[in-house]
Chain A
Amino acid sequence: EVQLVESGGALVQPGGSLRLSCATSGFTFSTYWMHWVRQAPGKGLVWVSRINPDGSTTSDADSVKGRFTISRDNAKNTLYLQMNSLRAEDTAVYYCSSGLLLWGQGTLVTVSS
């Protein structure tokens, strides 16, 4: 069974940092492009970042460029999102997705003082 399980979401103050993880199983993680997509409360889906199968190429949305870093560990079948300089507008449920095909259940990040 394919599983993507996000973790690491929390309440954090503006300007703070957080690292999200997405543990995967049931598919060949190292062959898939992986993505992070977020959804602010009551709003639609917004793409955040993607990384290629071997981790050598990444792309980010302009809204997070220079603040968020996507990475992966193919030995651990795990995707990460390092989030720095967090802002109130980063408050959202963050989903990881394998190739934009299958999605995890999401982890909530709340940025507030």
Chain B
Amino acid sequence: DVVMTQTPLSLSVTPGQPASISCKSSQSLVHSDGKTYLYWYVQKPGQSPQLLIYEVSNRFFGVPDRFRGSGAATDFTLKVSRVEAEDIGVYYCMQSTQLPVTFGGGTKVEIK
């Protein structure tokens, strides 16, 4: 199975400041079709996961442009340019390049 390792485990951020989450995979996530199936989700308190970024760097519908995904092969990053209070929650990376689909352990983002 592809192991997804997220760091840090938690993050406390002052509103208006940037935040960055790293996600490393144990194998390259480049599919034979040339695409890289790396996704980022946020799970806000009491809610189901919401998609933020798909295929490394594409923002999903309605996701603010302060969220940016980047990376390649085994090394990926989610950056928030200016954190807002509504951004609190647990952030997960996920790969679906190989079965089984696997998730990172999550990064809890709190507001200072």
Cβ contact within 8 Å between A102 and B100: no
User: Contacting B94 at CB < 8 Å: which of A45, A59, A104, A105?
Assistant: A45
Interface size of B in residues (CB-CB distance below 8 Å): 21
Please give, as numbers and ranges, the residues of chain B lying within 8 Å of A45 by CB-CB distance.
41, 43, 49, 92, 94, 103, 106
Cβ contact within 8 Å between B48 and A44: no
Contact A106-B48, Cβ < 8 Å, known A44-B92, A45-B94, A101-B60: yes
Residue of A whose beta carbon sits closest to that of B51: A101
Contact A61-B39, Cβ < 8 Å, known A45-B49, A95-B49, A103-B48: no
CA A30 to CA B6, docked complex, whole Å: 34
Interface size of A in residues (CB-CB distance below 8 Å): 18
Main DSSP-derived SS at the A contact region: strand
Interface residue A88 (Cβ < 8 Å from any Cβ of B): no
Cβ contact within 8 Å between B49 and A103: yes
- The smallest beta-carbon distance between A94 and chain B, in angstroms, is 11
Residue of B whose beta carbon sits closest to that of A93: B48
Interface residue A10 (Cβ < 8 Å from any Cβ of B): no
CA A76 to CA B61, docked complex, whole Å: 26
Residue of A whose beta carbon sits closest to that of B92: A45
Interface residue A11 (Cβ < 8 Å from any Cβ of B): no
Interface residue A47 (Cβ < 8 Å from any Cβ of B): yes
Produce 1/0 per residue, A55-99, CB < 8 A to B. Answer: 000010110000000000000000000000000000000010000
CA A102 to CA B49, docked complex, whole Å: 8
Interface residue B96 (Cβ < 8 Å from any Cβ of A): yes
Between-chain CB contacts (< 8 Å), 25 pairs: A35-B101, A44-B103, A44-B105, A44-B106, A45-B41, A45-B49, A45-B103, A46-B103, A47-B100, A47-B101, A47-B103, A50-B101, A59-B99, A95-B48, A100-B51, A100-B96, A101-B51, A101-B60, A102-B51, A103-B49, A103-B50, A103-B51, A105-B47, A105-B48, A106-B48
